[in-house]
Amino acid sequence: MSAEKVLVLNATGKVGRNVCRALREAGFTVYGTTRSANNQLSAQGIKAVVANYTQPDDLRQAFVASGAKKVFVITDFFSAAGKSAEREFAQGRAAIDAAKAAGVDHLIFMSVADAEFFDEHVTHLKAKVQLEAYLRASGVPFSIVRPCAFFENLDDPDNWNPLKKGVVKFLSLDECKYCATYDIGRAAAVQLKNPQAWLGKSLDVIGWQGDLAAVAAALAEVSGVPVKAKLAMPVFLRRLFLKDLHHMFLYYEVQKGPRGTPEEFKKIVPDALSAQDWFRFHGRYANGDKISA
């Protein structure tokens, strides 16, 4: 029997590329959308579908081109939606509608852990809550993955936080819950392979928790060099210039959210990546040098 097909929308981003990898490793034939005809997807064993995942016509064509009846849906407030919750909702709704029209038998939607519990200033999570509700009412067979903060934030040159030897930076020194985007894909693989257990259900993706000093200790262990933990910016500047993210961090710091735990997630993905595992998995600093000693 040939492997089942899965279409991953936005296959080249921080999430998409590792979700594609995890689904391919789980035995699926993976199709991934990208706007660029000149992409690296086939080198990673992914069948490239040149499409803009935010455009209804492109979405329809992507389902036809792949023939997939399973889809992993990502929406993105910051890049694709240009920091508009309304636009992110419209883009996610278009993906759900296209999946319905294509007769998809399992749609995995990537939301955010505890999305409904952040305060009104956390604008970038509003569409996630609305899209979960739209999906539940849509009639499309679905599951939801709800990740916490990505380890990938620790090496994010696009957001002025490249990972450098000997230092790790984040917007909080406090204890946080993290996950690897690869584990989002492994969670999706579990859901797709066992629809009886997972249709209509959601899963918090939380691989590890620790404060920034523990993150630094993990990098020191993997790299073999001492590592300092530093704030990417002082908290008063975070409050002044990154109000939306500041309030998200307040939910982590003051309310100790999200409520899920690595122990719960490891009942589903037992070898979920720890901070040490993620630095080994990630492999390189932002300048391309190897992390491991």
Ligand X SMILES: NC(=O)c1ccc[n+]([C@@H]2O[C@H](COP(=O)([O-])OP(=O)(O)OC[C@H]3O[C@@H](n4cnc5c(N)ncnc54)[C@H](OP(=O)(O)O)[C@@H]3O)[C@@H](O)[C@H]2O)c1
Using the contact rule CB under 6 A, the part of the chain among 147-155, 189-197, 228-236, 239-247 near ligand X is 147-155
Nearest-CB residue for ligand X: 13
Rounded Cα–Cα distance for residues 25 and 21 (Å): 6
Using the contact rule CB under 6 A, the part of the chain among 56-64, 71-79, 229-237, 251-259 near ligand X is 71-79
Using the contact rule CB under 6 A, the part of the chain among 34-42, 58-66, 135-143, 216-224 near ligand X is 34-42
Determine if 12 is a binding residue for ligand X (CB under 6 A).
yes
Comparison of 249 and 285: residue with beta carbon closer to ligand X: 249
Residue found by looking up tokens 């122990």 in the block: 263
Residue found by looking up tokens 């490239």 in the block: 48
Determine if 74 is a binding residue for ligand X (CB under 6 A).
yes
Residue found by looking up tokens 């997972």 in the block: 198
Comparison of 4 and 19: residue with beta carbon closer to ligand X: 19
Rounded Cα–Cα distance for residues 154 and 172 (Å): 11
Contact 215, 51 (CB under 8 A): no
**CB neighbours of 97 closer than 8 A, spacing ≥ 6?**
56, 138
Beta bridge partners of residue 31, listed in sequence order:
7, 47
Contact map string, positions 75 to 94, toward ligand X, x by CB under 6 A = xxx-xx--------------
Site for ligand X in 164-203 (CB under 6 A): none
Q: In angstroms, what is the minimal distance from the CB of 41 to ligand X? A: 9
CA distances for 198 relative to 6, 166, 225, 267, angstroms: 16, 42, 43, 14
